Chains A and B, each alone.
Chain A
Amino acid sequence: MSTEFRPPRRLNVFAFDPSTARSFANRNARTVKITLPYELDPQDPGEPFFGPKGKYVEVVDYDPASGAFYAPINLNDDAVMFNDGLPPSPEDPQFHQQMVYAVSMNTVSAFEEALGRVIQWAPTIKKVEKKGKEAEWHYNFTRRLRIYPHALREANAYYNPDKKALLFGYFTAGPESTSAPSGTTVFTCLSHDIIVHETVHAILDGLHPSFAEDSNPDMRALHEAFADIIALFQLFSFPTVLEEQIAKTRGDLSRQNLLGELAQEFGQAVGRGCALRSFLGETNEHGVWKPIEPDPTKLRNSTAPHERGAVLVAAVFRAFMTIYKTRVEDLFRIASNGSGVLRDGTIDPDLKRRLAAEAAQCARRVMRICIRAMDYTPPVNVTFGDYLRAIITADRDLFPEDTQGYRAAFIEAFASWGILPANMPTISEPSLRWPTVANAEADRQARRGISEDTEWLDKIHSNLGLMLSQPRKMLSYFSSPMSIDGKDRRARYQLEVERTAEEAQRVGQLVHERLTRFNEASTTMIVREKVPARTLHMDVNLLEVDDSRDREIVYHASCHYQRLLWLLMNSASSPRFAELTGLTFSPDAPATVRRSQITELPSVHVAAVRIARRQGQRGQPEREYVIEVIQTRRGYFDIDRQLHEDAQPVDPKDSNRDCDFKFRAGTTFLVDARSFKIRRLIRTAYAVDDPVGLEACRAYVDGTDAQAPNAFYSGRSPRSAAFAALHHPPHIKDGFS
């Protein structure tokens, strides 16, 4: 086959899961073909493609409970390639591999489309012990997410953030199973919903590793709900499935249909319904399915992540329904001679296709809004209210005019489910938008009762511009610090500078390799000179070198800027800037606020510097940088201990001292990619030195800690198990908690 021809890869998968596929009523929508563009995961068609192990994921089929491996599928095998993959069948493990690959990659594709950039998995963290020195933590590029389709023998599937791996389980269906026949095996890796859900956990963890922290009632719930929203709307991208459901519901998607039921087989096989979509509808006493009316008090009365998550899912689905109904009103009128009421009987096939097309488009748009909003959240400690503001702001920045009423629909739907930002006097689109820097500065001056010109902000913008466009110059300026005294601190500082340079050199090296990859094969010229490392340190905007498709280059460029920005913030941060952004650099901050070992001032962690590319209303490309900065404070359950620790003399070596919990706060900056001006500030509700925020965090963490789901241990789970425990069935409660 000619390598010139780059066909998309088409793969068969179950549309829902094997049980739904078996059902006769669903015979027309049992399987779908997923189409992955060639560019997403280019593999030479002439070479075998085992695993599948591609650019993003690697499927490794080890079944430790059975002490068995299953041979990897070769997606480039002729019999596979020319038949759109293996035919869907639960008895062949290679089909399982094909399905997890196809569905997870399709999810990656949806995210990259919405975010306009390559996605990254969370970095691999390794502890490196060195003799006679403090252990160092190394953050490395995670090339591939690993997928184990048969890792567990239980009714569970989860993303393990430490292993950067998805672990799927299989189990024997019990007597209460209403889907898979009792006694047969249920494979979670054959459920479209579950695969998308777990993949989204991994993608979101790559975007925001701090979101796995359980520091307020919404954090875990947001992870769950977000994963579920994507799983729900991914189903809408399959025309055959959609048309089938449109036909069944006669165009009214708020009626019961398969789209609204998460992980059918799994839920029914373990004998309980679908948790996260439980607020979309319910079966009443006559066995009739009814949509649930929104209840603004539900959120207030829910504490469990799944329950809160279900509220968010219901709100987003309601927004979608509002938009969809509005958009298809005319179609109904046209098809019914203006009455809007269809005649009885089967729906007209043309109308069905048109409705399905509209539903697909709405779903795509709603899903993109939800994904893009993840660039517009505070970097840590996020609430559902913050997420609503992120949705509104992200959409508004891209489409200044809300011609289709998308944002209005979101605001209405969220408000009807009681999801609103705390302490907000008015709810409207403008008030929900995150403040522009001009507004934030005006508010700051007004609060202080001063009026000064904002020239100081221009200096900050110039620094940002210099840093982003001429990083090498910026770094050489930092390499000879004026104000660092003390041998130890100087050494630490130098180490930071070196590491920053290393990341840039790594970018240079990778770009160099890329540019010279034809040299060896070239007949005209042989260039094999060794290039000195320092010449590989380019003085251009590293976030925009190459075509930004190489994830490794993008990773190191981001790391470089994170470090560089850290140096910048440590060298020049004014009280005004602190006040504006909600960060603190004051030496008087409580001693429990984490200090920098170099400056001994409150430290900042630059969690992200990344680019977001979008296509605007007129098709114009929009670019901006997203910068996230986090600060951390040690928290104690005991108030007296907290006061005691707060008043201790500052010791920067204290950063890893024992504490009961960590309170984090921070700010996301949206920076215009052309002018390097900060456009918007997205702050957490509380600053790191705010006692109210600390108390809220304490109350929540103390509460979950005290909740013991068993007779021995705390109710909190470590990061490695952040997504594992959630999928277990809830416990009966009449104990103390």
Chain B
Amino acid sequence: MTKAPTPRIKAPKSGVRVRMYRQGHGDCFLLTFRRSRGTKPFFMLIDCGRKKGSTPADLKDKDIDMDAVIEALWTDTGGKLDVVVVTHEHEDHVSGFPKAGDDTHPFSKFHVEDLWLAWTEDGADPDANRFRELYGDKLLTLALAHEKLRALQGVGVPDGVADEIAEFLELETGHRTGAEVLKEACIEMGVAPRDISAGPAQAFAAARRTKIRGKRYKERLAGLRAMVKGEIKFLSPGDPPLPLKGVKGVRVFPFGPPRDQKLLTSLNPRQSEEFHVGPFAMGEPGAGLFAAFDGGEDASSTSPFAPRYVIRQDEVSDSIAEDAAPELAYLSMTYLAENDEDRRIDGDWMGEAQALALRLNSEVNNTSLVLAFELESSGRTLLFTGDAQRGSWVSWSDLSWDVDGTTVTAKDLLARCTFYKAGHHGSHNATLNGTLDSPHANLNWMALGDYAGDFVAMVPSNKTWAWGKKRPWRHPMKAIEHALIDKARSRVLMIEPHEPQRHDSHSGSEFDTMWAAFAKATKSEEFAVEYVVDDMPPNST
């Protein structure tokens, strides 16, 4: 291990220094706190990843890639991280961590003291295992759909669907094809090699046959877990507030992921097992795919009609014998007619794979570890939601803690929230809308009263890249961006564009003091955008 240099980043006088790295479209946040003793700052890293190919243009021009950003993190921290938090296991949050045994990876040389994960990663938690099992089966379904769509080579397939699903597979697993995902799952589950090489449908069937389920994720975080020198903590909402070792005046409240399966997934608890098709509730996107795939290698056994009606598709070919039955000739001459290829529908039924991909993505987003940091002197809080979506947000209103004999609710903490890390890069459903009276947490529960003037938001989005995609990703969504700009009075920081932008509605001289203070607390550097939340009581400066 390389000897750790002195950290470049100093602890803030009070409060917390939040650095959002510019590795691309994804999350990598460094939180720096002052220790009560000694000069060495306390470093907490929240996530480290990005979507492949999303490096900001200015860094790309200088040939700066992910590794260089991790190097910058090394210089900034001196290589020692007191806590690493992984909110959830999506590519854009974990791609910067090394695989198990990869000693050449730039992150491998870090010293990781503690690792905080959500309860959903706990292998000793039966609910978590159940969730991962369902997730694993859904992922296999998506992977096989992708392979089947690819195999059709564009005939009778809605345009672009296979490519879009590839993107989601990559977000979930780091692999871009269903075959790779199936293969990896099979290896994890100990499927015999000959079943893996027999083809995707066989691999799917073999993986389904194994009794060991729900091993997913292990692979992706195995490297990071192996690096931990201290302890691995699994956090649940409502757990007592956590201290930071050696730091005074900071409490960390876990908000999510919710314990309620219904909120985590789309599973309806009122539905008993018999109304499920494998991991899917009936009628849920993917249920039809799974029903067709789970029939084994011969899909025709899943037909809703009695076997006497079924003509297996390989019996109908484009070169039909002269003496063939007229029914077969009809099917061949209509469906397989050469000039009517555009009208085929081989893949349309798998269009729901796209809905499944989106659903799966949301379900994993909802497993995000959500943390609220309370700075005790000022009462200010910071909210880091990972990619938590609606299912998580609506669960927070039930949370309360007993702090030194006083009951503190999530609503209380949010009312003092002056720093918000926007969920899921500012997407739909990852920042909820509502009013103070709404039954669930929303943007308007944040920064109230004395704290109203201090609200700042960071949106970890390379907006230029996301909106410039062939089929744009709405990250951030316009309505959310506008709501944040409005609430934060232009104090919204993004990965790209990374210079703070003062909007017309906040350009009046009455905002000058506010903007000057913000500029003072903000740094916009090549590798990171930084903002310091101080711990002075509001309106005291």
Contacts and interface: CB of A to CB of B under 8 A. Distances in A.
A171 B288 contact: yes
Nearest to A154: B288
A50 B327 contact: yes
B299 interface: yes
Given A91-B305, A732-B390, A48 B326 contact: yes
A313 to B, nearest CB: 25
Most A CB within 10 A of own CB, among B277, B300, B477: B477
B309 A71 contact: yes
B510 to A, nearest CB: 27
Interface in A73-94: 74, 91-94
B334 A270 contact: no
B504 interface: no
Contacts of A183: 274-275
A66 interface: yes
Given A65-B349, A151-B349, A711-B430, A170 B282 contact: no
Given A60-B334, A70-B311, A163-B343, A711 B327 contact: no
A446 interface: no
Most B CB within 10 A of own CB, among A65, A152, A183: A65
Contacts of A718: 159
Contact of B282 (A65, A72, A173): A173
Given A66-B300, A163-B343, A710 B428 contact: yes
A64 B346 contact: yes
Nearest to B292: A65
Chain B, interface size: which category? Answer: 35 or more
Nearest to B167: A712
Most A CB within 10 A of own CB, among B305, B358, B442: B305
Contacts of B229: none
A152 B349 contact: yes
A298 B331 CA distance: 49
B428 A734 contact: no
Most A CB within 10 A of own CB, among B275, B330, B480: B330
A714 interface: yes
Contacts of A53: 330, 334
B331 to A, nearest CB: 5
B105 interface: no
A67 B288 contact: no
Interface in B420-442: 424, 427-434, 438, 440, 442
Contacts of A153: 288-289, 291-292, 349
A62 interface: yes
A68 interface: yes
B442 to A, nearest CB: 7
Contacts of A64: 156, 313, 345-349
A712 B300 contact: no
Interface in B194-220: none
Contacts of A708: 427-428, 474, 477
Most A CB within 10 A of own CB, among B313, B315, B483: B313
Nearest to B334: A60
Contacts of A148: 345
Contacts of B431: 735-736
Contacts, number: 211
B427 A65 contact: no
A171 B345 contact: no
Contact of B300 (A58, A68, A150): A68
A602 B85 CA distance: 60
B342 A155 contact: no
A157 B65 CA distance: 47
A160 B348 contact: yes
Nearest to A62: B335
A340 interface: no
Contacts of A675: none
Contacts of A706: 474, 477-479
Contacts of B262: none
Interface in B395-451: 424, 427-434, 438, 440, 442
B51 to A, nearest CB: 11
Contacts of A93: 305, 309
A66 B358 contact: no
B495 interface: no
A170 B362 CA distance: 26
B536 interface: no
A736 B484 CA distance: 11
A163 B424 contact: no
B429 A735 contact: yes
B158 interface: yes
Interface in B284-321: 285, 287-289, 291-292, 295, 298-300, 302-306, 309-313, 315-316
A164 B345 CA distance: 11
Interface of A: 48, 50-51, 53, 58, 60-72, 74, 91-94, 124, 126, 146, 148, 150-155, 160, 162-165, 167, 169-175, 182-183, 185, 187, 270-271, 706, 708-714, 718, 720-721, 724, 728, 732, 734-737
Given A154-B352, A183-B275, 13 more contacts: A58-B334, A63-B303, A64-B313, A66-B292, A67-B312, A68-B305, A162-B342, A163-B343, A169-B288, A172-B291, A706-B478, A706-B479, A736-B431
27 contacts: A50-B330, A60-B331, A65-B289, A65-B291, A65-B292, A65-B302, A68-B303, A69-B312, A94-B309, A126-B342, A153-B291, A154-B349, A155-B283, A171-B282, A172-B277, A271-B283, A706-B479, A710-B428, A711-B362, A712-B473, A712-B475, A714-B471, A714-B474, A735-B429, A735-B433, A736-B477, A737-B428
Interface of B: 156, 158-159, 270-272, 274-275, 277, 281-283, 285, 287-289, 291-292, 295, 298-300, 302-306, 309-313, 315-316, 326-328, 330-331, 334-335, 342-349, 351-352, 355, 358, 361-362, 365, 389-390, 424, 427-434, 438, 440, 442, 471-475, 477-480, 483
